[in-house]
Amino acid sequence: MKNPLIIILLIFTNFLFGQTNVSEKVSESFNIDNRDRLDSIAKQLNYKGGDKIKVLTIFTIDEEGNVTDIKARSVHPLFEKEAIRVLSLLPKMPPAKYNGKTISQKYSMPIVFEIETESAKKQRLKKEKRKREKELKKEKN
């Protein structure tokens, strides 16, 4: 019974100390290479396109803004490992402040990995191709 209470308190402290851009940074750091890695994990574990896997994470942002002490819980250790890997790639974050001093702060954040369907993958690849062609066209002009 202590775990749900701790998670609720950690989420509450997220809002108290104003660290709202963490989830945005995680989304930004999850790029195309990571999507391919996730797809290979999903195939290995017999997941299908459209499946969603939730990974609950707890980590600390220390006084210097480094993400440390990352822990994860999920349906399979490979998804936990991937969530830890993605969080460890985060850049330095602004540390929390309390009474004007920077402090080390724990955060709780669920990460939901969604396995890409074949049709969604085709659409994404088409968009990426158009974007690359557009960038090449700009460079030539």
Taking only the tens place, the pLDDT of each residue in 84-100 is: 998 988 888 889 999 99
Output the pTM of the full model: 0.66
CB atoms near residue 127 (< 10 Å): 10
pLDDT the model gives residue 1:
39
pLDDT the model gives residue 43:
81
**With 80 as the cut, is the pLDDT of residue 135 above it?**
yes
d(CA 69, CA 106): 9
Taking only the tens place, the pLDDT of each residue in 96-116 is: 999 999 999 999 999 888 888
Q: Where are the beta strands (DSSP E) in the chain?
A: 52-61, 67-73, 96-98, 101-103, 105-114
CB 111 within 8 A of CB 29: no
Look over the chain and give the mean of its residue pLDDT values, rounded to a whole number. Answer: 79
In the block, tokens 């309390």 appear at 98
| Residue of 138 and 23 predicted with greater confidence | 138
Domains of the chain: which residue ranges?
2-140
CB atoms near residue 86 (< 10 Å): 23
In the block, tokens 């955060």 appear at 107
Contacts (Cβ under 8 Å, ≥6 apart) of 41: 78, 79, 82
